[in-house]
């Protein structure tokens, strides 16, 4: 497994890499969920193709400097995970390698990104789209794997690929959870023991809400369960149309109940699909 820390090193290694190339973009702090993404990438690349992992904590998608500063960085462990799961190459650039000091171009999506995480994290999805497009260009990948936990991010990236005519296949992977239901996330390791013990209530709230028949009941049920804990602060809790991610108060098509919940300064996201019957 090779490691490239510059665009020049990356290009040199790409020249001899067999296709298809399947990319797994990450910000590091890899866990079992990331490992599953890598395994899915290998499945699609096959024994003749190649799997790349990028590890880059992208500063332009953070709306709070403290969140960027506190984001976990575990390079040695991450590289060991990549090696164990048969990754062919890792792109591990520094900020200066990815962004010029006088950069003046950003990629903006104007529909799917306006609510949910986009409403509470100013500029977040501009940063996501910009870095993902750069990674697509730099790695020359044929496909890329993204987890469904960040379902809004996945939808935005799929829209970018469609609207910009990028010849890249986007491969979703279902949300991975630990045994108690908490969605796997690099942020989980920042929870205190008390917060970690309480955090599965997010999944419990979504499951209970999904059994209700009206939009009002769905929201109120989830809110009550989450807010019962003194440790939680709801950032958002919304029911949106599954296709366009616009808020809705009627279950007239498949919907998604999505939430972002703070435990202290640790922000956890999750969602559940509400089928239309």
Output the pLDDT for position 252.
Answer: 83
Q: Which helix (H) or strand (E) holds 232?
A: strand 232-241
Q: Assign 107 to helix, strand or coil.
A: coil
Q: Report H helices in the chain.
A: 7-14, 32-45, 65-70, 75-84, 95-98, 117-120, 124-139, 151-163, 193-198, 201-209, 215-227
pLDDT at 277: 55
Please say if the pLDDT value at position 168 is more than 70: yes
Q: What is the per-residue pLDDT across 18-77, written as a single tens digit (0 to 9) for each?
A: 999 999 999 999 999 999 999 999 999 999 999 999 999 999 999 889 899 999 999 999
Q: How far apart are CA 82 and CA 128, in angstroms?
A: 22
Average pLDDT over the chain reads: 96
pLDDT at 275: 87
CA 183 vs. chain centroid, Å, equals 12
31 is annotated as an active-site residue: no
| φ, ψ for residue 229, nearest 5 deg | -80, 135
8 Å CB contact between 154 and 128? no
Fold of 2-173: Rossmann fold (3.40.50)
Where do the CATH 3.30.1300.10 domains begin and end in the chain?
A: 186-269
- Marked catalytic residue, from 34, 85, 173, 271: 34
Instruction: Give the confidence band of 271 by pLDDT, cuts at 50, 70, 90.
Output: very high
Rounded Cα gap, residues 115 and 113, in angstroms? 6
Q: Which fold has domain 186-269?
A: 3.30.1300
Q: Give ranges for CATH 3.40.50.620 in the chain.
A: 2-173
Model confidence pLDDT, tens digit, residues 177-233: 999 999 999 999 999 999 999 999 999 999 999 999 899 999 999 999 999 999 999
Q: Among positive and negative, which fits the CA dihedral 100, 105, 107, 109?
A: positive
> Using one digit for the tens of pLDDT, what is the confidence trace for 121-141?
989 999 999 999 999 999 999
């Amino acid at each position: 497994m090779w490691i490239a820390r510059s665009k020049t090193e990356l290009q040199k290694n790409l020249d001899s890499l067999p296709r298809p190339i399947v990319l797994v973009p990450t910000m590091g702090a890899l866990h079992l969920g990331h490992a599953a993404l890598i395994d899915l990438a290998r499945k699609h690349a096959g024994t003749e193709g190649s799997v790349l992992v990028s590890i880059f904590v992208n500063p332009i998608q953070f709306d709070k400097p403290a969140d960027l500063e506190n984001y976990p960085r575990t390079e040695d462990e991450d590289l060991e995970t990549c090696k164990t799961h048969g990754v062919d190459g890792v792109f591990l650039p520094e900020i200066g390698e990815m962004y010029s000091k006088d950069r003046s171009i950003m990629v903006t999506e104007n529909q799917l990104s306006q609510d949910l995480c986009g409403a509470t994290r100013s500029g977040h999805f501009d940063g996501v789209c910009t870095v993902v497009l750069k990674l697509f260009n730099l790695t020359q990948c044929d496909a890329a794997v993204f987890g469904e936990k960040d379902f809004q991010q996945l939808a935005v990236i799929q829209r970018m690929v469609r609207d910009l005519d990028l010849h890249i296949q986007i491969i979703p992977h279902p949300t991975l959870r630990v045994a108690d239901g908490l969605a796997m996330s690099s942020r989980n390791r920042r929870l205190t023991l008390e917060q970690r013990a309480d955090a599965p209530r997010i999944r419990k709230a979504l499951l209970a809400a999904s059994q209700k028949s009206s939009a009002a009941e769905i929201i109120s049920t989830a809110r009550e369960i989450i807010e019962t804990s003194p440790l939680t602060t709801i950032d958002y809790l919304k029911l949106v149309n599954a296709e366009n991610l616009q808020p809705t108060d009627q279950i007239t098509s498949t919907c998604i109940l999505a939430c972002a919940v703070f435990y202290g300064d640790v922000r956890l996201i999750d969602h559940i699909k509400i089928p239309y019957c």
